[in-house]
Structure 1
């Protein structure tokens, strides 16, 4: 569950530096605090050569898919400012600032870019990069604005040049308010609406190339977790564990982070800022993932060092069954809520219900270039699942004041049910044992 707890991670590490693609924030210089890497982590090696970037041809297909959805939604154009949707369609990674930057896809005609005049050189450098990433770069016009000019008036002019003077403009959902408000008032004859039917409509179903990157990200995370688990010792702090995991990710060549919660703090799904020390027999919860060519993993593992108690084992078994039930319910054509329903029934039938009493959050979220993206596996969501959609499967039972157990793996929808990218954790005492 990455993005939802990044504020905790940032607060616990004042020196943390934000990442453009990773949802959690990593403490800077973490590996420098570790004098000598444990053998299991030192044995990890770079896996970057295994990652195959998304091709220009695939991005061209995404453009055509977006045009089809624009027509279906009766939208005249799609406006994307920054973030993962921009990278998804164009390969451009552009930091968000107070200055308006946008890539615009008309329903018909060539895309165009609106940017500050002093950024034009950087834009063209990326448009002409080798290998190419920007679809239709040769016909993409760049409109520039000076600091004392309105970028929104320029956007309206560019849309007029594209033959769009009336109708609806879809705005990407994560556009900051100042930009979306400016777009909304760019022209009295144009209406700004949500662009989510187009962006989520394209991004929700993953291609084979995307699935390959996600499988690699998940496999990498699981191997990093296993190396960290082999390196843990009673007396370590939770911050030390996170530092070890950050160092492990550095060795694999993919940026990543994991939060670590211990004992009663594992009953808080998003963790705690309190310093914690690992003891034998206490639940330890690792959560988060890494990024491979822009695609994220999100895995949680709950375990103990030493012997687990009967109550801990009982709770683990229920959560394990709930995770398996959710996966089995994840068939193409089933409603999103059916996956949550299946897991919640197992937990409720075991005496940890009703509703959100101990399983306090939804079953899962879509995942891809964002740690959390459309659609969501939650009560009331009737959207049908489609083959190729990817989600987290993360049931949990949280007993406040004692402990919590969550198991989380990412998976893809198939006609016969969900297919996990990683094997389920078999037990609290041997969380990475092979089945």
Structure 2
């Protein structure tokens, strides 16, 4: 048996051996170190930065520069919109509350500008074909200042009322020429109302009228309007019930309408609006990709939402919000989740959006991480949904402006594809079959603009035709809840893909421009 240390052979040899040879250490530390390394590798939430799928290139400064240039509307935008509204109204007046419609026509008084309360602020648009020459309100009388600018005084002559942003050319109480706009505001909010930005091009059309706390605002408005020779009153669809009731009481129910023609003005987007929507959707998709790059097996739904919110804000979106669902939670289209952790066999569904220049994005992605082990049948579901999203796009491309596809037909093109592969009932072979909502449980899509959901709606029964200027979502899905009857042996899974499409015209043909995506193959986002 060899000694642990060399045997001293001589005094001369002693020194070198002592200095060059060290005691051998036990080797038990090596397996422990390997074990610790394995544990850290398998449990750490941080993936190697060299993974290609984690390399998300930033949006370029040229992109942001272009998007910023769209924030300033070209001259004449709002005067043109008011003229268009005036033509549609004919001899009816339009009454609305602050919201997307007012923001569209006036460039201000959107929901972010004015919080709705029990004290109504009303916007009244009077077409140029209707004259206003009645007796002015007994509580707010229009007079003219030394510089020709209208101001308001109460019955006692006090001028601490509100500014009227119009120039008077005579002693009448109406605004001369063009479409007229009355903004009825609570007296104590009058200054704030007058300070909300409105484009200079329409300020000559605006008149502010105030009502005191002890007055009925609708009576004040009716006295201001006077004996109008009008066909009726058109209410914006977002007007609240108590306002609607008060208007009907004074105008007569038979003369109050809710006109879809006014809504249809907003339905078609111009080039700038499409550009703003494109920017918002590109920013949103970028945030989803960045979020995916930070995800890992074991992360929770809430932690993923936090990451998503961070990147949507970093992408410069406003009013950003999102939905994150893992695994079986995605089988509820608008579920709230359970804050469960992401497992290796789970797909991820993210549905989110924000605004840029007031215009809204809406994107949904269903995906998995590279280290996930997704069942092949779930991937086949994903591919079926991808094809269903492509079907209405192909239908649009094969159509012309003289024979556009109906919104119901676009819904059917996607729904029938899913139904032919995944259904809980026998699919009808009739030329106009009853739609199958058993696994694809919602409409195909919705219009998008200043609101996340607006006209048009792509659903069975909507016989309206697609046309240039329409922008809408295409968002087919398959939902197989965990507690429902299985379909082809599958349950506890949900898939949805959503992108927005702008309809354009080229040489008499309809073409579609995807504002984001679409996803072309499994593994992409």
| Distance change (3 Å), C-alpha of 1:111 and 1:135 | farther
Cα 1:180/1:223, change in 2 over 3 Å: same
Specify the alignment match of 2:378 in structure 1: 312
- Which residue in the other structure is 2:105 paired with? 89
State the match for 1:243 in structure 2. Answer: 306
Structure 1 residues 60 and 165, CA gap change in structure 2 (3 angstroms): same
Structure 1 contact 41–248 (Cα < 8 Å) conserved? no
What does residue range 17-166 of structure 1 map to in structure 2 within 5 Å?
49=65, 50-51=67-68, 52-53=70-71, 54-71=73-90, 76-92=92-108, 93=110, 94-108=114-128, 109-126=179-196, 129=197, 132-133=198-199, 135-160=201-226, 164-166=228-230
Describe the superposition over 1:155-196 as per-residue Cα deviations: whole angstroms up to 9, x where unpaired.
Answer: 222332xx6255311111011111111222233497221033
- Does residue 1:262 correspond to 2:326, yes or no? yes
Could you report, residue by residue, the CA deviation over 1:57-91 in whole angstroms, capped at 9, with x for unpaired residues? 211111111112112xxx51111111111111112
Match of 1:34 in 2: none
* 2:272 aligned with 1:201: no
**Residue in structure 1 matched with residue 156 of structure 2 by the alignment:** none
Q: Is the 8 A contact 1:214 1:295 kept in 2?
A: yes
Which of 422, 439, 444 lines up with 1:363 in the alignment?
444
2: CA distance, partners of 1:258 / 1:112: 38
| Superimposed CA distance per residue, residues 248-276 of structure 1 (whole angstroms, 9 cap, x where no aligned partner) | 12212212121100111111011134222
Matches within 5 A, 1:345-356: 345-352=416-423, 354=427, 355-356=436-437
- Given that residues 166 and 189 in structure 1 are in contact (C-alpha distance below 8 angstroms), is that contact kept between their aligned partners in structure 2? no
Matched, 1:275 2:339: yes
- Structure having greater relative contact order (Cα 8 Å, sep ≥ 6): 1
Q: Indicate if the aligned counterparts of 1:116 and 1:146 stay in contact, CA closer than 8 A.
A: yes
CA contact (8 A) 1:156 1:187 kept: no
Selected match of 1:286 from 350, 360, 369: 350
Q: Distance in 2 between matches of 1:44 and 1:65?
A: 37
Match 1:413 to one of 487, 497, 503: 503
Structure 1: any 5+ residue segments left out of the alignment? 1-37
Residue aligning to 1:18: none
Q: Distance in 1 between matches of 2:358 and 2:311?
A: 19
Change (3 A) 1:389 1:79: same
Give 1:338 shift.
0.9
Q: Deviation at 1:416?
A: 2.6
Quote the Cα distance in structure 1 between the aligned partners of 2:521 and 2:303: 24
Deviation of 1:43 (Å)? 6.3
Q: How many residues are matched?
A: 384
1:344 is the counterpart of 2:360 = no
Where structure 2 has 5 or more consecutive residues not aligned to the other structure, the ranges are: 1-48, 129-178, 428-435, 483-491
| Cross-structure match for 2:297 | 234
Q: Is the Cα contact below 8 Å between 2:94 and 2:234 reproduced in 1?
A: yes
Q: Which residue of 2 aligns with 1:386?
A: 467
- Match in the other structure for 2:388: 322
TM-score by length of 1: 0.83
After TM superposition, the score normalised by the length of structure 2 is 0.69
Summarize deviations over 1:13-36 as a string: whole Å, max 9, x none: xxxxxxxxxxxxxxxxxxxxxxxx
Cα pair distance change 1:403/1:189, threshold 3 Å: closer
Tell me the CA shift for residue 45 of structure 1: 8.8
Distance 2:290 2:252 in 1: 59
Change (3 A) 1:400 1:225: same
What SS does the corresponding residue of 2:76 show, helix, strand or coil?
helix
